[in-house]
Structures are given as structure tokens and as C-alpha cells.
Amino acid sequence: MTEPTTTTDFIRQIIAEDLASGKHDRIVTRFPPEPNGYLHIGHAKSICLNFEVAREHPGHTFLRFDDTNPGKERREYAEAIKDDVRWLGFDWGERLTHASDYFERLYEAAVTLIRNGDAYVDSLSADEIRSLRGTLTEAGQDSPHRDRRVEENLDLFARMRAGEFEDGAHVLRAKIDMASPNINLRDPALYRIRKQTHPRTGDSWSIYPMYDFAHTLSDAFEGITHSLCTLEFEDHRPLYEWFLDKLQPDHRPRQIEFARLSLAYTITSKRKLTELIEQDIVTGWDDPRLLTIAGMRRRGYPAAAIRELCSRVGITKKNALIELGVLENCVREVLGPVAPRVMGVLKPLKVVLTNYPEDQVEMMTAQNHPADPSMGTRELPFSREIYIEQTDFLEDAPRKFFRLKPGGEVRLRYAYIIRCEDVIKDDQGNVVELHCTYDPETRSGGPQSDRKVKGTIHWVSAAHAMPATVQLYDRLFRNARPGAGGDYHDDLNPESLEVIDNAMVEPGLADLGADDRVQFERIGYFALDQGQPGVFNRIVTLRDSWKKIEQQQLADS
């Protein structure tokens, strides 16, 4: 697999020091998704970091499902996450785990906290607990249940587990400090009652652990050495440390935070992605306009391009909005050297070569990659009737228009120079056909092929071309920060998808495989949509048409 540009960063430096000093002799990391949606480009950054740092040293990485929230989690999501991580190029081997694997151990750890006077059952309602929590500037207040006796706490907690109480009747809270300046330390909840069926443990539990508690201990149980997470967890680190102090003094994973990946014109919040799907704004988690891993894969992005983006963006402590063009350039750079060139006409205009023999078919030799002769050549049928791109003809063309115009000449790639003799129109005055003549002396590769004309255009033979549907994707949002003005719906790009159902492509494309990617010369990179023959997704254009707008929007905001 193509390795991304390697770089170092502050996390890799810490890891190298920990190995050099003998603090660790192996590196153990984890990627801990919650199976409540599909993975997106932001997750890719975390996946690449966790798997790559472990691969750069003796070490390994766990794929751990943080499945502590049964109401929102589904098996479908867990399966999709595994597919996506694998597709990105990473392998967890035997190390697929779930927070739910540890439910019993987590319960015991909670009991230990209760026994040691470090946790208590609170019977206030969620609203009451919130109202006593205080604010950033004001200390919280103790719950009246904070000083419950250990026996009473143990009894209540056991009965919470046994399902004796309704949701919300009690919570188990850590007993830390209601006056702490860090709100995360104001007696955070450890367990809550949720009478919900869990995708893996079914109805065996009526209580579920909270994220911070489950996550810290799962890290410790798995011998994670470096627990790498995004910056919003920085304020949770003291709680992470508190759990380790109380419960796992011997094995201490180190939590290190890094900046999230945020891309312009993109939404990655799972809540908003779910909305886009439910409101039929996109067709599903794998809609090719979404920067979900499934969407990018379906669109035709190579995994190597996503890894390259993550590497290019790097690991820092500073949140920044990355131009979408950076990702698209990674896609172009990965596909450029390897994607075979082909010809496809998106909006066909028929051209009749009036001086070309009626029944003649010639085979024209085309290079599969002009810069890489080792990719070989193919034969393209050429005949009296061909299609060219509508946009390659202009009736009232400016002087600098070097494609086809009345009386003008252009070269057909790998074929002949033609001259436009006649423009055929329908009743409304639309151009429907061109009558041209070809110059038989100008066959590409032939003796007189150096007669020069300024323009070269692509074409397909009408009788041989394969009809195709082409899905042209563009940005889903036209504002670099969707929703910055309030509602992201206002920023939707009404032209994010154009479906062309009468394109014509060269006949060899009938054999394209589901994982193949090609460049339609002069147009962009394309792949089959979910392997359907004749249905093409535009992966990316050849050039970035948004660059100026994007830079302006980012500068303005």
C-alpha cells in the first residue's frame, strides 16, 4: 500500500522518548469509536495516528467499540466501522474489543470505589443534579445524598443493577469535589439506569457506565500505553487520572490530546449526518457527497489519499479549518500517476464526417497514460459519426477559442484533424449536429501528423460508444463553515449533484471493475458507482474550481 509522507509530531516524539527511556518497550494504542453512526474523515485522522504510531514501533492497536449507550448504538454501525477501518488499510488482528466486554469488571471497579468511600448513589433527578452543579465561575453544591453510608450505597447500587428502579431514579457518582474549578470533577456520574436492550449484552444490564469511567478503565485493562484523543478531552484528563489513581495505580496509560480534523464545506457531526439522511438531503451514510469513509469510498477516493491527507495535516494542538482542496489534491496526486486515461463525452454533440467512407471503421491507438508508456496502449474504433462534447463547439466563438467553431479546425485526440463545415439546428435554433470534414493526411502517429492546430478534443465513435450515466458531485455546502450563520440547511449547495443520463464513453469501459478508477481525459477522475456497469461517479475534477472562492471565504470568516 502507498505509504503516506512520513513526518514527526509531538505525540511521536513523546512515544520515541518513552521507548528510549525504557518506560515502555511496546506501544499500545486504541481507536475507540462509538457504534452510533458511520466513520468520517475526522475519525480517519485518529485511526491513522493510532494504527501508524503502533506500526512504527514494536506495538499494536486495539479497535474498541465504546458501546456504553445502547439506545443509539447498532450492529450495522459496528460492522460498517470495521469495514471502513480495514478499507483504510489497518488491521487490528485479534484485538477487537468492546467496552461491554468489561461490564462485569467495570461494575466491580465501581463497587471498589463505593467501598473506599469514593462513590455514592445519588437519588436526585437529572435536573436537580444539574442545578447543583454550579457554573464555570460558581462552585457546585453537595447533593443531600453525598454522605450516604457505604452499606446503603452498595445495597442501592446492587438493586440498580438488578433492575429494581426506573430510569433516572438514581445515579452512581464519583465523590470528588463539588467545588473543583474543573466541572468534570464535580462528582461526575459513573453509572446510570437505562432499561434498554444492548446490541451485545441484551437485557442483562439495567445500568450502563458513563463514557469517562468506561473509557479510562478499558484503556487500563488493555494495557494501552498512549491514549490519544482530541482536544475537547483535555478537561477530562484530571478525571482520567483520578480513576487511574483510585483503581489502577500500576498501569497508567497516558492521555495525550491533539487537534481534531475539520474540513471546510463539510459536516462531520454524527447527529447532523443522521439529520441529513433522515431529511433525505443525502441518500445515506455512503452518499458520495459526504466525507464519511463509506461516502468517500463509494465516490472513488483511494484510501491512500485519505491517509495522505491525514499525514499532510499532521498532529498538532491547534484546531484549524483545512481547505477541502487539500483533500482533493491528495486524491488527484494519488490517482494522477496510476489512473488509466480514457475518453468519455458527458454531453454529446453528434459530428458527421461527411467525407469519411460510410462503412469504414479504423482502430486508433491510444496511450493508456501519456506519462507512463509502461501502462500500454489500447485500440479505439473510429468511424464516420462521432460524438464530441457540446462545450467543445461554439458558434460565436471568441478569437482565443481553440476548440471547434464554424470553419475552424481541431484535432480529435489520437485521430484526425477535422474542419467544421456546417452547423445543423433544430426549430428552436439549438445546435443538434455538426457536419465536418476530416483530413486523411493527419492521422495521429502517421507521416503528416505534425500539421498543427491549436486545440485537441476528445470524442467517441457513435456506433461503438457505450451509453453511460454520470453522476457529477460537487460540494454539499457552498459555505466553508456550514451553519456559521445559524442553520446549515441555508448553506446547502443546490447543485451538489448533477446526473447526466445520456453520456457516451469509449467501449472498453464496459469491462471496468468495481475498484478501477480512470481519468476521463480533460474532465476528471471517475469510478463505477458501487460497481454498476455504465454508472460513473465523478471522483474529482482535474482542477480545483473552488480554490479562489474557498480562500476568500476562509479569509473573510
- Hey, which residues are catalytic here? 34, 260, 270
| Distance of closest approach, residue 297 Cβ to ligand ATP, in angstroms | 18
> Binder to ligand ATP among 236, 270, 341, 458 (CB under 6 A)?
270
Listed residue (516, 508, 534, 513) closest to 379, CA to CA: 508
Judged by beta carbon, residue 15 or residue 349, the one nearer ligand ATP is 15
Q: Which window, 266-274, 326-334, 337-345, 542-550, contacts ligand ATP (CB under 6 A)?
A: 266-274
- Contact between 261 and ligand ATP by CB under 6 A: the answer reads yes
Judged by beta carbon, residue 220 or residue 229, the one nearer ligand ATP is 229
How many CA atoms, within 13 angstroms, populate the side-chain half-sphere of residue 67?
Answer: 28
3-state secondary structure labels for all residues of 138-204: CCCCCCCCCCCCHHHHHHHHHHHHCCCCCCCCCEEEECCCCCCCCHHHCCCEEEEECCCCECCCECC
- Contact between 32 and ligand ATP by CB under 6 A: the answer reads yes
Judged by beta carbon, residue 229 or residue 505, the one nearer ligand ATP is 229
> Binder to ligand ATP among 42, 209, 295, 524 (CB under 6 A)?
42
| Distance of closest approach, residue 41 Cβ to ligand ATP, in angstroms | 7
Q: What is the CA radius of gyration of the chain?
A: 31
Cell of 108: 466491580
- Contact between 237 and ligand ATP by CB under 6 A: the answer reads no
- Contact between 34 and ligand ATP by CB under 6 A: the answer reads yes
Cα separation, 388 vs 392, in Å, equals 7
- Contact between 481 and ligand ATP by CB under 6 A: the answer reads no
- Contact between 260 and ligand ATP by CB under 6 A: the answer reads yes
CB 197 within 8 A of CB 158: no
- Contact between 269 and ligand ATP by CB under 6 A: the answer reads yes
In this structure, what are the phi and psi dihedrals at residue 112, rounded to the nearest 5 degrees?
Answer: -60, -45
> Binder to ligand ATP among 123, 141, 196, 230 (CB under 6 A)?
230
For residue 44, give the DSSP letter: H
Within 8 A by CB and 6+ apart from 519, the residues are 335, 336, 339, 340, 341, 342, 525, 526, 542
Within 8 A by CB and 6+ apart from 275, the residues are 281
In this structure, what are the phi and psi dihedrals at residue 216, rounded to the nearest 5 degrees?
Answer: -60, -45
- Contact between 229 and ligand ATP by CB under 6 A: the answer reads yes
> Binder to ligand ATP among 4, 33, 89, 344 (CB under 6 A)?
33
Is residue 351 packed enough to be buried (19+ CB in 10 Å), middle (13-18) or exposed (0-12)? buried
Judged by beta carbon, residue 229 or residue 470, the one nearer ligand ATP is 229
Q: Mutual orientation of helices 211-221 and 237-247 as an angle, nearest 10°?
A: 60
- Count, residues near ligand ATP per rule CB under 6 A: 14
- Contact between 64 and ligand ATP by CB under 6 A: the answer reads no
- Contact between 310 and ligand ATP by CB under 6 A: the answer reads no
- Contact between 209 and ligand ATP by CB under 6 A: the answer reads no
Cα separation, 329 vs 136, in Å, equals 43
Q: Which window, 175-183, 262-270, 377-385, 481-489, contacts ligand ATP (CB under 6 A)?
A: 262-270
Judged by beta carbon, residue 260 or residue 369, the one nearer ligand ATP is 260
Residue with cell 500500576: 250
CB 21 within 8 A of CB 56: no
Judged by beta carbon, residue 42 or residue 59, the one nearer ligand ATP is 42
- How far is CA 212 from each of CA 185, 235, 253, rounded to the nearest angstrom? 11, 11, 14
Per-residue contact string for residues 43-62; x = within reach of ligand ATP by CB under 6 A: x-xx----------------
> Binder to ligand ATP among 153, 218, 268, 537 (CB under 6 A)?
268
| Distance of closest approach, residue 379 Cβ to ligand ATP, in angstroms | 47
Binding site for ligand ATP (CB under 6 A): 32-34, 42-43, 45-46, 229-230, 260-261, 268-270
